[in-house]
């Protein structure tokens, strides 16, 4: 790790991309938790981590679970999507979108991607979609556990639990996945309403500033860290900065956002001005 800077003597201060590519190296089976309010860049870091974990361990497979509609508003055009950040980062980081698990055999003709983004289609029947998506994601989670050597990026743990009722499957991986080298990279903006397993089992934590009282209370339930230190350091963060914590090694780092990652299908994005807000892919 680089030497600590004077501005924050208790931790390191480093760019997000440099830290992910050069310093953080999760081992297969080590869970990762990301906790922060909406729009701070959790999806961006999660997708980068997913790609990096697979690159570090080529014997593993990465799988991102996408819950938002696969199509955006009709007025936005045929190619619009309900989650442009996931679509853009999947393409930019070398991943590939599949509507089912396991992917159709035709994908084999295109070679292996850096990771898979499992993104079931949505219809106009909400309740039918909930039942179908729950079954698709449940199969993918259990298959990942049974096969082992998997990384699962779950972008919103709260929705997977509250809407799709996948608490048992997620807890099964959090509690037993290490032995199968199956890890969850979990993100949530509602830490007060997700299983405590999400952060109590995590070896690596990414935390954002959150004024919500319930969220701040949950920071105090993370095992192996001083809650007063967490609150003091997260309170000093800007909107798109986050605090990385590795409790076992007592490593603390403030991560600043990296440059915007353009969509390879949209050359116009390459000229987009780099800023803290645009680097996260949030509007």
The CATH number of whichever domain residue 171 belongs to comes to 3.40.50.300
Q: Do the domain assignments include residue 4?
A: no
Q: Do the domain assignments include residue 3?
A: no
Task: Indicate if the pLDDT at residue 276 is higher than 50.
Answer: no
Model confidence at 269, in pLDDT bands (50, 70, 90)? very low
Q: Do the domain assignments include residue 5?
A: no
Domain that holds residue 16: 12-279
Q: Do the domain assignments include residue 6?
A: no
148-199 pLDDT, tens digit per residue, is: 999 999 999 999 999 999 999 999 999 999 999 999 999 999 888 999 999 8
Mean pLDDT score, 77-103: 88
Place of tokens 């963060």: 237
Mark out the alpha helices in the chain (DSSP H runs): 16-22, 42-56, 84-92, 126-147, 157-162, 167-180, 197-200, 213-219, 227-235, 276-279
pLDDT score for 273: 41
Task: Indicate if the pLDDT at residue 110 is higher than 70.
Answer: no
Q: Do the domain assignments include residue 148?
A: yes
Task: Indicate if the pLDDT at residue 227 is higher than 90.
Answer: no
Q: Do the domain assignments include residue 247?
A: yes
Query: How far, CA to CA in Å, does 100 sit from each of 70, 104, 116, 118, 236?
Result: 13, 7, 10, 7, 42
| Percentage of the residues of the chain whose pLDDT score is greater than 70 | 85
Using CA atoms, how far apart are residues 110 and 211, in angstroms rounded to an integer?
A: 46
Predicted model pTM: 0.87
DSSP 48-109: HHHHHHHHH-TTSEEEEE--S-SS--GGG-TT--S-HHHHHHHHHTT-EEESSSSPPGGGGG
Q: Do the domain assignments include residue 193?
A: yes
Report how many domains make up the chain: 1
pLDDT score for 279: 44
Query: How far, CA to CA in Å, does 89 sit from each of 24, 57, 199?
Result: 20, 20, 25
Residue 27, phi then psi, degrees to nearest 5:
-90, 150
Q: Do the domain assignments include residue 250?
A: yes
């Amino acid at each position: 790790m680089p030497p600590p800077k004077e501005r924050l003597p208790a931790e390191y201060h480093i760019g997000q991309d440099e830290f992910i590519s050069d310093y953080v190296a999760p081992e297969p089976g080590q869970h990762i938790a990301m906790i922060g309010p909406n729009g701070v860049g959790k999806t961006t870091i999660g997708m980068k981590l997913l790609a990096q974990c697979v690159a570090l361990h080529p014997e593993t497979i990465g799988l991102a679970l996408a819950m938002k509609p696969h199509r955006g508003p009709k007025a936005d055009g045929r190619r619009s999507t309900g989650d442009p950040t996931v679509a853009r980062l999947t393409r930019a980081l070398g991943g590939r979108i599949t509507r089912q698990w396991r992917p159709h055999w035709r994908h084999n003709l295109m070679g292996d991607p850096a990771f898979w983004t499992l993104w079931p289609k949505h219809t106009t029947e909400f309740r039918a979609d909930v039942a179908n998506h729950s079954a698709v994601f449940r199969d993918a989670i259990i298959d990942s556990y049974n096969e082992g050597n998997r990384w699962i990026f779950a972008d919103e743990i709260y929705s997977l639990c509250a809407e799709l009722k996948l608490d048992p499957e997620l807890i099964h991986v959090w509690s037993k996945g290490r032995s199968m080298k199956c890890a969850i990279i979990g993100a949530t903006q509602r830490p007060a309403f997700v299983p405590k397993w999400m952060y109590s089992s995590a070896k690596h934590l990414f935390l954002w500033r959150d004024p919500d009282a319930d969220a701040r209370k949950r920071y105090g339930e993370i095992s192996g860290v001083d809650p007063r230190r967490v609150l003091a350091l997260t309170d000093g963060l800007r909107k798109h900065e986050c605090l990385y914590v590795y409790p076992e090694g007592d490593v603390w780092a403030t991560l600043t956002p990296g440059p915007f990652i353009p969509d390879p299908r949209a050359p116009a994005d390459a000229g987009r001005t780099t800023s803290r807000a645009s680097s996260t892919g949030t509007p």
